Amino acid sequence: MSVKREASGRRSVQVEVEVRGTPEEVWKAIATGPGISAWFVPTTLEGQVGGRLALDFGGGMVSEATVTEWDPPRRLVAEDKTWLQGGPPVATEWTVEARRGGTCIVRVVHSLFASTDDWDAQLEGTESGWPGYFRVLGYYLERHAGAPAASFVLMAPAAGAGPEIWNTLSTALGAPEPRLGQALRVRAPGGAALAGTVEAIDDLPQGRGVMLGLEEPTPGVVLASAMDYMGMRMATLQAYFYGPAAAAAAAQQPQWQDWLLGLFPPPAAAEAPPAS
């Protein structure tokens, strides 16, 4: 993980992945609101130069950018002037490159212009986060491309260090030390359940996480993570559902929000005196 620095002052990070699909299929997944929402975060995208790109990361955090270049199904660029508080605009470039055998290379480049390294940590943190989401993209394109999709993103601020947050979350999932291929099933207040198999485990500088391939309540993916990054400590639960029952599964979001907040109560709730 490193920032590429150029004499012009441009600083950038680049991440790429090979996925199954035609350029048109892959473009639909990375350059439309419903497509991006199926593997990343809920997204609104106006596909044209000057169009709005809004990414909802949950907890009131929405990143808004403006499309500056639009060349389907090969390339798009969007500029975000709000991503770095008090910092320079960040340009994000997406490209799709066809390969033999029915696959494509998806490449994302984040870049900015700066004379100091004040923003390098943010670029590096973003770089390290993409591989996990790209696994979901590959899973979606290989198994559920074009299927109805629905998702939710939940987060809860958490006290304590990252390992402590992860221990609480992973124990609640039924896997204090998750293993690849391990079957898990967890139930939320109200009866909602998630069941699946551990597909991947992440151990990154900013936190730990696990990816589940879902079987219940519908095919899909769950990402659960504990983050301790740039002064922000939180637990997250992101669910992606595919197929005819996707919308009904995503409608159980309030039950999973209650489950997450039960593990990591808001400070006011945690400190409230017992009722007399």
Q: Identify the DSSP state of 144.
A: -
The pLDDT confidence band at residue 58, using thresholds 50, 70 and 90, is: confident
Cα distance between residue 205 and residue 178, in whole Å: 18
Matching residue, tokens 């919308």? 247
Q: Coil, strand, or helix at residue 31?
A: coil
The pLDDT confidence band at residue 1, using thresholds 50, 70 and 90, is: low
Q: Cα dist. 151→35, 44, 56, 155, 187 in Å? A: 11, 14, 12, 14, 18
- pLDDT of 230 reads 64
Q: Coil, strand, or helix at residue 145?
A: coil
Q: Domains (ranges, CATH) in the chain?
A: 4-143 (3.30.530.20), 149-267 (3.30.530.20)
Burial (CB count <10 Å: 0-12, 13-18, 19+), residue 122: buried
- pLDDT of 248 reads 97
Matching residue, tokens 């943190």? 125
